Structure 1
């Protein structure tokens, strides 16, 4: 694990890349910020997490790092020991954890709750949607540290790499670590635009996983975050249609992303407007 700090004092924010070794966009974003070493208004940790898995080009070596937090310093599995070390280093920070997917080309945010911080970042960061996992997925980094996860786009794509650095800069600017001029200089240096703010950002809550049948021949025929109606075919397994028993919104649905499931079903719970509601005086 590589850890660098911007600014002096106790770190208040963190950006983490490389939780999964086959998701290079977040690693690139962290490396660019380390190289640039911009002046900051709040101290920031920059972390490249699973260096062994990154070197191997694998999601993980012994266990999925983003399913084993808070970790165990005495475990045999490399990722369980690493999870404990990473959680210790990030204590007291609000972290942005950078990921990428095999299922969706546009960036979106993932959190384990919808609270004022998530609402604020959902409105201000250049993301397409927000996903609330609730208690559904255990062992992720946000079980140990206050974390916002970003899925920056398709693994290995130039678009995901650009989105990751764009979102990392926006996160630091929105939370007061980068001044406006410094953020603008970084965007110019890395050749990225701020990204358009959506007038309204939908928020989804995961409700269940979507299992695969016992075959290696899978196809997905619907788009993530677009409603699938009850009775609609959303995938095939060995050429046999897989039909929705009830309506749902697909999240992280793909043929190759997971071994035993296509991804997740969600319900749409609200929308975040670009302007937060004004309180009555």
Structure 2
């Protein structure tokens, strides 16, 4: 794990990249900040986490780090020990953690709950939607540390790297670390309601788009040609044929649209 800092003093803000070794977009955003060394109005901690997985260009070495928290200093797995170390490093910080996905090109945010921090900051980020994990946060970083996660775009793409840089600077502006203003926007909010599992198969297909409502009776996925049909309406989230080993993705409900307060006269 590599840790650096912008500004002097004790940071209460952290930017986290490289939780997964096959998602380099956030690492590039952190590197650019370190190369430019912008003047900050609040100190910022910068963390590149899973260096071993990044070097191998794999998601993880022993287990998924973002399912391994809180971890243990004596864990048998590399990620189990790393999870414990990262939590100690991020103590007292609001963290901004960057990821990428195989399922959706447009950036969106993921939070543990619709906290005051999330509802204040996320609409100021250049994201299309916000997803609350509800009962599906076990083992993730934000189950232990106050964290806003962002999916920056499609894994391995130049666009995801550019989005990561843009998202990071918007976050740092929103929390007052970088000077300037942000633009708040209407933001749809979804809550995960179920896991969409998939059986072991040679081929997988997904027939729906993420965040587009699926109606009862609509086919939404197939494993070796065996089609799954919706029994009730839902919104797909992180749905892709091969993004996860045992699941297609998640079902969600749309719970709100956050609207910026009108500016004072």
TM tier relative to shorter chain: over 0.9
Structure 1 unaligned blocks of 5 or more: 184-193
How far does residue 9 in structure 1 lie from its aligned partner after superposition? 1.0
1:13–1:95: 8 Å Cα contact kept in structure 2?
Answer: yes
Partners of 2:232 and 2:120 lie apart in 1 by: 32
2:23–2:100: 8 Å Cα contact kept in structure 1?
Answer: yes
Partner SS state of residue 75, structure 2 = coil
Say whether 1:201 aligns with 2:201: no
Q: What residue in structure 1 maps to residue 261 of structure 2? A: 276
Q: What residue in structure 2 maps to residue 237 of structure 1? A: 223
Correspondences of 1:102-181 after superposition (within 5 Å):
102-180=102-180
1:219–1:255: 8 Å Cα contact kept in structure 2?
Answer: yes
How far does residue 135 in structure 1 lie from its aligned partner after superposition? 2.5
Deviations 1:65-124 (A, max 9, x none): 001111100011000100111110110000000000000000000000002211122221
Q: What residue in structure 2 maps to residue 19 of structure 1? A: 19
TM, length-normalised to structure 1: 0.91
TM, length-normalised to structure 2: 0.96
Partners of 2:123 and 2:218 lie apart in 1 by: 32
Aligned structure 1 segments of 4 or more residues deviating by more than 3 angstroms: none
How far does residue 137 in structure 1 lie from its aligned partner after superposition? 2.7
Q: What residue in structure 2 maps to residue 47 of structure 1? A: 47
Q: What residue in structure 2 maps to residue 78 of structure 1? A: 78
Moved more, 115-124 or 156-165: 115-124
Q: RMSD in angstroms over aligned alpha carbons?
A: 1.6
Partners of 2:79 and 2:231 lie apart in 1 by: 37
Aligned residue pairs, count? 264
Partners of 2:64 and 2:123 lie apart in 1 by: 30
